[in-house]
Structure 1
Amino acid sequence: MDTTQQNSDAWDQKVEEGSRYTQSVSSDVINKSKLGEWEITVTTERSVPRNWFPNSLKGLKILCLASGGGQQAPILAAAGADVTVTDISKKQLEQDEMVAKRDGLVLKTVQGDMSDLSDFTDEYFDIIVHPVSNLFVKDVNPVWKEAARVLKEKGLLISGFTNPLLWIFDDTEERKGVLDVKHSVPSSTLDYLPKDQVQDYIHSNQTIEYAHTLEDQIQGQIDAGFAITGFIEDDFGGTRIIDKYIKTFIATRSIKVKID
């Protein structure tokens, strides 16, 4: 099975359905961003601290990685950055293009896989913004390595990802308010299904998701050449029962460093 194509098609479908993470920002948000009043999220609810970014984004080359949907990229472009957004979903990128056209912004869109940034040259970008999305690749380590390759020395990687604790619970039961420990980590959506339901799930055009270990998420960045300098947590905004007990999303700020 081609997981990349499966998830590309699934996200195109999510755009058609109006999923939250496919809904572009308003012109009012863009106008405020042009005036310097901007913020973005890379998790679910909590904004990335402004002090994670340089004081000015003017002229900085930013890659919004697996970040289509007309959300982070247009805001950063409105704040003065030279923005490229790449995503696996053509329709997600069309959301960014729509906002750019609507609000007079300049940004570049490139359809591609977050694990393979061969469209981009070494040490080109100043900042990478990578919202929660690496759950859609089987191995996150190539994502970190490619990010390090295309970032300049001392470039910033601001990324969001899922706390693997979320994955151990039965999702259907958790949404009913019952925390039933059922799954191990690492694992994938397909591992949670009875064998006779796997093909039906694939044909339903839904995303294939992967539960990654914290070691792959944190040590994976370090192994790729990053020093982690910022860490925050987030949740579903109180809409899920698990929010009462723990934060299930993480964002990190990392700097590409050369260690002798």
Structure 2
Amino acid sequence: MDIVKHNKSAWDQYVDKKDRWTIPVTDEELENARKGNWSVVLTPNRPIPKDWFPPMEGLKILGLASGGGQQGPIFASLGAEVTIFDNSDRQLEQDQKISEKHNLGIKTVQGDMRDLSVLANESFDLIFNPCSIVFVDNVLPVWAECFRVLKPGGVLMTGLINPLSFQIDEDSFKLIYKQPFSDLHSLPKEKLEELKKNNEPLVFGHSLTDQIGGQLDAGLVVTAMFEDTWDVDNKMDDYLPSFIATRAIKS
């Protein structure tokens, strides 16, 4: 099946459902950001340390698969030149509305994060990629494209998911799925059909070799990382943090 097309439709629908990751920042949050009081996340809970960021004024930022009007408007209000690239038109509309309302000058581009060919080589100082690579079946092209569009010395910040969180059954805590996990190939047929019927996004549990080693193989150098937990009640949080945030630079 066409994963990109399916997940595009699913995330378009999530906007109608008012999923947490589709709700834009408020006017108050933007005003606070202009006063220096702001935070953004790559993973559900833990804010990104401020020292991960270069000075924002004039910084060329690519929000990769980060539509929804959450991070982009914050960056733009701090003086950055922001482009948001996302698979979902409805998510991009959230950024467009906030940008027009506050005259933020945010550019939006619809497409597959594995193919950034519409963007020029070495055109961005920072790529901000919230936890979204789970929605593509092969993450390695993403890292290659990030390396290509980053300027030398540019920074990639991305949110990852520990593959074990997909392989362990949340109720029994038994290891039931082989790595790499894929909704398409790991789930029983009836569970997959239910996801497709309900138009839920399909996900892929990439190995740490592909998630972190893939960044290194693309030419990036990881300079910092931390782990995080879910933002809702999840039994897994009592045993292991399911999320990882990494900061890497193009050397």
TM-score interval, normalised by the smaller of the two chains? over 0.9
- Measured on the aligned residues, the alpha-carbon RMSD in Å equals 1.4
Deviates further, 95-104 or 205-214: 95-104
Whether contact under 8 Å (1:9, 1:205) holds in the other structure is yes
SS of the counterpart of 2:227? strand
| Residue from 174, 181, 197 that aligns with 1:187 | 181
| Residue from 221, 228, 252 that aligns with 2:222 | 228
Q: 1:184 to 1:225 in 2, by over 3 A?
A: same
What's the CA shift string for 1:110-144, capped at 9, x where partnerless?
A: 00110000110000000000000000001100000
Q: 1:238 to 1:10 in 2, by over 3 A?
A: closer
**AA partner of residue 249 (structure 1):** F
Structure 1 position 148, deviation (Å): 0.3
Aligned pairs for 1:122-141 (under 5 A) are 122-141=121-140
SS of the counterpart of 1:251? strand
Structure 1 position 3, deviation (Å): 0.6
C-alpha separation in 2, matches of 1:242 and 1:204: 25
Aligned pairs for 1:1-260 (under 5 A) are 1-54=1-54, 56-170=55-169, 174=170, 177-195=171-189, 198-199=192-193, 201-237=195-231, 239-257=233-251
C-alpha separation in 2, matches of 1:101 and 1:40: 21
**AA partner of residue 123 (structure 1):** E
Q: What is the TM-score when the length of structure 1 is the normalising length?
A: 0.92
SS of the counterpart of 1:230? strand
Q: 1:95 to 1:214 in 2, by over 3 A?
A: same
SS of the counterpart of 2:42? coil
Whether contact under 8 Å (2:163, 2:181) holds in the other structure is no
C-alpha separation in 2, matches of 1:79 and 1:85: 16
Deviates further, 199-208 or 21-30: 199-208
Q: 1:33 to 1:119 in 2, by over 3 A?
A: same
Structure 1 position 178, deviation (Å): 4.1
Q: 1:239 to 1:198 in 2, by over 3 A?
A: closer
**AA partner of residue 2 (structure 1):** D
**AA partner of residue 256 (structure 1):** K
- How many percent of aligned residue pairs carry the same amino acid? 44
C-alpha separation in 2, matches of 1:32 and 1:196: 47
C-alpha separation in 2, matches of 1:169 and 1:111: 34
Structure 1 gap segments, 5+ residues each: none
Structure 1 position 197, deviation (Å): 5.3
Whether contact under 8 Å (2:167, 2:181) holds in the other structure is no
Structure 1 position 105, deviation (Å): 1.6
The aligned length equals 251
Query: Runs of 4 or more off by more than 6 Å in structure 1?
Result: none
Structure 2 gap segments, 5+ residues each: none
C-alpha separation in 2, matches of 1:121 and 1:238: 38
SS of the counterpart of 2:247? strand
Q: What is the TM-score when the length of structure 2 is the normalising length?
A: 0.96
